[in-house]
Amino acid sequence: MDREVQFVGQSSAFLDAVERASRAAPMRRPVLVIGERGTGKELIAERLHRLSPRWGEPLVTLNCAALPETLIEAELFGHEAGSFTGATRARIGRFEEADKGTLFLDELATLSMGAQERLLRAVEYGEVTRIGASKPVRVDVRIVAATNEDLPAMAAEGRFRPDLLDRLSFEVITLPPLRAREGDVAVLSDYFGRRMAAELGWDDWPGFAEHTLAQMISYPWPGNVRELRNVIERAVYRWDDPSRAIAHVQFDPFDSPWKPIPAPRYQPQTNQATSPIAAVDVPANENRPASTDAYSQGQHDAVADLRRAVDGYERAILEHHLGKHRYNQRQTAKALGLTYDQLRHCLRKHGMMDKAAAAVAKVATDIIAGQGSTREEA
């Protein structure tokens, strides 16, 4: 496969979905691919086509959400000249383009009810009728459709034809989101990072710092693999020291202290007084242990858990900003709104002085080595 459509991952949930696609590929039946945005639905569609007997025939893709409702039927089934305003000449539709091959319908749930009805006939009888034509045209097309919607729920609500759903759901492949693919964030981060480093001409791949990788593993990734790829490639290209592990990633590219602030909406004044928030009465003895000692021990454990959580959060913030500012402590202190002495106190508190000193020494050594090589070349 092309390097842009490789499947990278090791989690059982991901490998099961790929295996199911491989088993369904030789069949002539329709396949539904379900998954959140960025999970790789189009890659599964391409796999279904490439591993099928139709691999030498066309794979035609149509994003159903990219066209207005008035044009989607003409795009799918074609039209004759003069069939509607602007149709100056006849045009074949995507079904005829995909004859003997595969038609991939992305964002299937956005199809209008009229288009769904005509699609049902095409799937059921293997023939399409161009808009403005009187005779149908026979086509041999394998349908692969994808969506991120709950189609059975839509059918129950009357927003999707149940009979069309029955015809398309011979096999349903549901792709797991990235947050459910255990271990794959680290694997994909390394894969995309190495590719970007090679594109930038780096001699070696330094990898990611431990705290940075931990941040990426704990992040929920609402945009899944597509979002992960953007975050990794952005982090690599912004990192200007290929000899050191990448210690900073920015998940939200729009996050900035100078981003525009939306204008406040006008709220008309009303005469109704704002009702105060009612206080919640908690019975004095409810949920309290019978033993006073047990109650005190429970309070002590809760305080200890809170302190550990706060310390862990504080340490993560320090690691993040130290990496972002290349372990320059004065710049880090300024970014955190601390004095230099306050930052040093925090580093000692969390046992990070040795790590910070080692990082600074590494930077200084690199600078000296660079200056020395310059003098030798001169």
CA atoms of 129 and 61, how far apart (whole Å): 19
Domain boundaries, the chain: 3-176, 179-238, 303-371
Least confident window among 176-185, 197-206, 333-342: 333-342
* Domain 3-176 identical in fold to domain 179-238: no
Match domain 3-176 to its CATH number in 3.40.50.720, 3.40.50.2300, 3.40.50.300, 3.40.50.150: 3.40.50.300
Of 168-172, 261-265, 295-299, the least confident: 295-299
> Is CATH 1.10.8.60 the right assignment for the domain spanning 179-238?
yes
Q: What is the mean pLDDT of the chain?
A: 85
Q: In what order do the strands lie in the sheet with 142-147?
A: 59-63, 102-106, 142-147, 31-34, 171-174
Q: What is the pLDDT of residues 185-231, one digit of tens each?
A: 999 999 999 999 999 999 999 999 999 999 999 999 999 999 999 99
Number of neighbours of residue 191 by Cβ within 10 angstroms? 17
Give pLDDT, residue 190.
97
Work out the percent of the chain whose per-residue pLDDT is above 90: 55
> Residue 274 has what pLDDT?
47
Mean pLDDT value across residues 93-112 = 95
**Of 12-21, 128-137, 364-373, minimum mean pLDDT range:** 364-373
The CATH number of domain 303-371 is 1.10.10: yes
User: Average pLDDT of 271-275?
Assistant: 48
Percentage of residues in the chain having pLDDT higher than 70:
82
| Across 286-290, average pLDDT | 48
Instruction: List CB contacts of 8: < 8 A, sequence separation 6 or more.
Output: 184, 187, 188, 191
Tokens at 228, concatenated: 């992960």
Token match 């009810």: residue?
Answer: 113
When pLDDT is cut at 50, 70 and 90, the band that residue 257 belongs to is confident
